Structure 1
Amino acid sequence: MKNIGFLSFGHWTPSPHSRTQSAQDALLQSIDLAVAAEELGADGAYYRVHHFARQLASPFPLLAAIGARTSRIEIGTGVIDMRYENPLHFAEDAGAADLISGGRLQLGISRGSPEQVIDGWRHFGHRPAEGESDADMARRHTEAALQVLTGEGFAEPNPRPMFPNPPGLLRPEPHSPGLRERLWWGAGSDATARWAARQGMNLMSSTLKDDETGEPFHVQQRRQIEAFRHEWEGHDHGFTPRVSVSRSIVALTSDQDRAYFLGQREAQDQVGMLDERTRAIFGRSYIGEPEELVQELARDEAVAAADTLLITVPNQLGVDYNAHLMESILTAVAPPLGWR
C-alpha cells in the first residue's frame, strides 16, 4: 500500500492553448483539483512553490483554502524554498493553515532550486551571514523554524502587555501540535538526505538528484533513501519517518491521452548540469498503456522503497483532465502493483 497524491507546478500562461490563463485560474483550479482528488480517493494534494514566476508562489493562503474545502486528503508543498522564508512568519502561517485543515499539512521544504532572478531571496530581505552560502542560509532558516515549531516558549513577555499573557516565555501563535513531525526536506543528494535525518525531517525526493554514482536514476534514489533511513536509526526523534518520491506517470486510456502524450515517451534518464558545478540526473517519464506501466513501475527501485508517491500533473490542461489522469492511475495502475 502506498500514499498516492499529485504534485502540481501551478503554471499559468495567457496562451490560447492553456486552460490556466491567469494567476487566479491557477489558484482556484488548484483548490478544485484537490477537491476532485479527494473524491477519487487520492491521498495527497501537493504544490510547487516558485518565486518570480508564473507559478504558485504563496503557499499558505492556498493550503488554508484547500483545508477548508476538503476533509481527508493530505495537503502539502514540494517544496518551499527556505532561502526566502522568515522562520517565525513561516511557523505562524503554517500553524494557522494546519489548524484550518485539522492537522493535514505535510510541508516539503528545501534549500531551493535555480531561480528566475539573480539572488531572488535578497529582494525578500534575506542575506547570508559572513562566510555562509545561500544554501547554508536556507538550512539556518530551517533549523530556526523547526525549533519554533516545537512549541516551546522563548520570548520574554512584556510586563505591561496589551492583553494578558499565559505564564512563562511566549511563542508565536497559533501553534499546531504535531506539525513539527510533518516537515519534509527536499534532498538533492545523499548528504542532504542524511542531514534531513539528523534534523528529524521526513524525506522528499524529486524527479532529479545529483548524479553521484553514474547509476540509473531510480537506483541512485533508492540508495539515497537507504542513506536517509540508516542515518535516522542513529537518532531518537520519537516517530517513524516517511519517504516520498515524485514521478511523471501518464496512463494512456483514451484517444485524447494518446494525442497529448504518445509522442512524449522518455524511456531513458537524462543527465545535465543543474548549475556550473552540479551534474544532475533526471528520471525518465512513464507514459504508456496501463499494462506497460505496471511492468515498468514494478522495476523502479525507489518507488518500491518509498511509502508515498507524488505524480506530477500537467495543470494547464484543466481540472477535469487532470482528475481523469489521476483516476486512471488509481484504478488501472495502482491495484495490479499492490498500491491499492
Structure 2
Amino acid sequence: MPAPGVPLERQGFLTLGTYDGADPAPGHEYLLREIVLGEELGFDSVWLRHRHFQSGISSPVAILAAASQRTSRIEFGTAVTPLGWENPLRYAEDLGTVDVLSGGRMNPGISVGPPIHWDDVKAGLYPDTADVEDLTYTRVERLLRLLRGEPASTFSGVDGIESFSDYVQPQSPGLADRVWYGGGSRRSVRWAGEQGLAMLTSNVIQSEGHDLGDDASRVFAQIQHEQIGLFRSVHPLGEAARVAQGLVVIPTDSATADQKARYAAYVEHRTPRTAVAHGPRQMLFARDLIGTSEQIAEQLYANPAFREVREVVWALPFTFEHDDYVQILTDMATKLGPALGWSPGASGATGKGTP
C-alpha cells in the first residue's frame, strides 16, 4: 500500500533551494518561507538536499537550525547528506544541536561514497588525508556511535575550571534512531536494512543488469519495488520498517498558463534521460510526473514501488521561482495529498517520529 482506498500516511517535500550566487540572501529567505508554508499547509516533513559549488543549499543543517525557530511541528530531514563531505564527529555535534533546537524533529538522511567530482574537490576538502579517508559504510557506523553517546575522547573530567565529557555534546536522545539511508542499489538497501535504519528511495538507482527493453520507467519501478522488499526482508522491524519514496511530481491544478508551459518544458527537457542507463554503474532516472493531482495519483497507483510505501517525500524541481513553489506546495497539500487519502495531521506527528 497505499492502493486506492488505503490512505497515504505521511507527506513531505524535498527541496534544493535556489538563489542568485551574486545575491544569495533573498533565495535563502524564500526557502525559509517555503518551509513555514509547508508547516501551515500540514506537511509532515521537509527535507533539504546538498548542492556544493552550486547555487543551491550547501549547508542544510544551518538552514534547518534557522527554520526550527520559525516552526513548531514539521519534521526536518536531509536527503541526503553525502558523508564524504563531513567529519562524522563535527556533523554529530551539528545534528544534535539542530535536534535540540527543534524539539526532536531532526531526521538525518545520509549516504556514503566519494563526493561528486572527487578528483577536483579532494585537495580542497582533504588536502592532507584524501587518499586515506574512509568513505565506506564505516563512516556511517562512526556517526551512529557518536549520536548514541559512545566515547569519542580519551579524556573526561575537569581541566582547570572547565569540565569535559568524553562523548559528543549536545546529546539528543532518540536522534540515532531517526537516521535514514539513501539507497540506490541492492547492496546499499540490504546494508541499511541490516543496520536497522530507515530508507529513502531515490529517483536515481542502479539498473544492476536488468534488461531495460522499451520501457525503462517500468523497469525502474520494478527495481525499486524489489529493493524495498529486500530492505524489509533483512530489517529487524520487517514490514514495519519505514520507507519513504522520493519522486519529482508537479501538480498543475492551480497553475497559470505560463507556469504550465514552463513546467512542461522542464519535464520535456529531462525526460530523454529516463530512457537509457547512464555511466559505468548503469544508473536509471525516474520520470517526472506532471499533470492534475488526479492524473498524478493515477500514475502513482500504477507504480508497484509506490504501492509498497506509506509515506512520500516529493522532490521539488530545481531552478523554479518562489511563486512556482508556493503553487506546487499548495496543490500538493490541498489536491494531491487528499487524492491519495492523506490529510494534515493524520500521521499523528509530534516531532518525535522514529523509524
TM-score norm. by structure 2 comes to: 0.82
Choose 296-305 or 307-316, whichever is displaced more. Answer: 307-316
Contact map agreement 1:53 1:116 (CA 8 A) in 2: no
Give 1:234 shift. 8.3
- Tell me the amino acid that sits aligned with residue 46 of structure 1: W
Partner of 1:32: 33
Aligned identity (percent) is 29
Distance 1:138 1:30, change over 3 A: farther
- Given that 2:16 and 2:49 are in contact with CA atoms closer than 8 Å, whether structure 1 keeps it comes out as yes
Greater alpha carbon shift after TM alignment, 252-261 vs 172-181: 252-261
Q: Specify the alignment match of 1:199 in structure 2.
A: 195
Look up the match of 2:287: 284
Question: Offset of 1:180 from its aligned partner?
Answer: 0.3
Q: 1:149 corresponds to which residue? A: 147
Q: Which runs of 5+ in 2 are unaligned?
A: 1-7, 212-217, 344-355
Deviation at 1:233, TM superposition (A): 3.4
3-state SS of paired residue (1:317):
coil
The answer to which of 284-293 and 155-164 deviates more is 155-164
Query: 1:64 — aligned with what?
Result: 65
Equivalent position amino acid for 2:97 in 1? A
- Asked if 1 retains the 8 angstrom alpha-carbon contact of 2:273 and 2:285, the reply is no
Distance 1:13 1:114 in 2: 24
Residues matched between the structures, number? 322
Q: Are 2:181 and 1:185 equivalent residues in the alignment?
A: yes
Deviation at 1:227, TM superposition (A): 0.7
Q: Measure, in 1, the Cα distance between the counterparts of 2:161 and 2:146.
A: 22
The one of 16, 33, 40 aligned to 1:9: 16
Structure 2 counterpart of 1:270: 275
Counterpart selection for 1:219 from 198, 217, 222: 222
Q: CA RMSD in A?
A: 2.6
1:302 matched residue in structure 2: 305
Q: Does the CA-based 8 Å contact 2:80-2:109 persist in structure 1?
A: yes
* Matched-pair contact (CA < 8 Å) for 1:83–1:121: no
* Structure 1 position 80, deviation (Å): 0.8
Confirm whether residue 259 of structure 1 aligns to residue 261 of structure 2. Answer: yes
Q: For the Cα contact (< 8 Å) 1:110–1:138, is it kept in 2?
A: no
Q: 2:233 aligns with which of 230, 234, 242?
A: 230
Residues 234-275 of structure 1: per-residue CA shift (max 9 Å, x gap):
89xxx95321121111112232332222343549943232x4
Q: CA 1:2/1:116 → structure 2, altered by over 3 Å: closer, same or farther?
A: farther
Q: Secondary structure at the match of 2:130?
A: coil
Output the amino acid matched with 1:83: G
Structure 1: which 5+ residue stretches go unaligned?
15-20
Give the aligned residue type for 2:243: V
* Preserved CA contact (<8 Å) 1:3 1:308: yes
Deviations 1:84-122 (A, max 9, x none): 211110100110011101111111111257625625244
> 2:44 maps to what in 1?
43
CA distance in 1, matches of 2:113, 2:324: 30
Output the amino acid matched with 1:3: R
- Of 174-183 and 292-301, deviating more is 292-301
Residue 3 (structure 1) shift: 1.6
8 Å contact kept, 1:32–1:319: no
Which whole-Å CA distance do the structure 1 matches of 2:156 and 2:341 have between them? Answer: 57
C-alpha contact 2:192 2:198 (8 A) present in aligned 1? yes
Aligned to 2:335: 332
Shift of 1:137: 1.7
Structure 1 residues 336 and 113 mapped into 2: Cα distance closer, same or farther (>3 Å)? farther
Q: TM-score, normalised by structure 1?
A: 0.86
Distance in 2 separating the partners of 1:184 and 1:68: 24
Mapped contact 2:19–2:28 kept (Cα < 8 A):
no
Which residue type is aligned with residue 340 of structure 2? Answer: L
How do 1:83-102 and structure 2 match up within 5 A?
83-102=84-103
Partner Cα separation in structure 2 for residue 233 and residue 160 of structure 1: 41
Report the residue type matching 1:199 in the other structure.
Q
Task: Go from structure 1 to structure 2 and tell me whether the alpha carbon gap of 1:62 and 1:128 turns closer, same or farther (over 3 Å shift).
Answer: same
Q: For residues 93 and 115 of structure 2, what CA distance do their matches in structure 1 show?
A: 27
- Per the alignment, do residues 283 and 157 of structure 1 end up closer, same or farther by CA in structure 2, a change over 3 Å counting? same
Deviation at 1:44, TM superposition (A): 1.3
With CA pairs under 8 Å and 6+ residues apart, which has the higher RCO, 1 or 2? 2
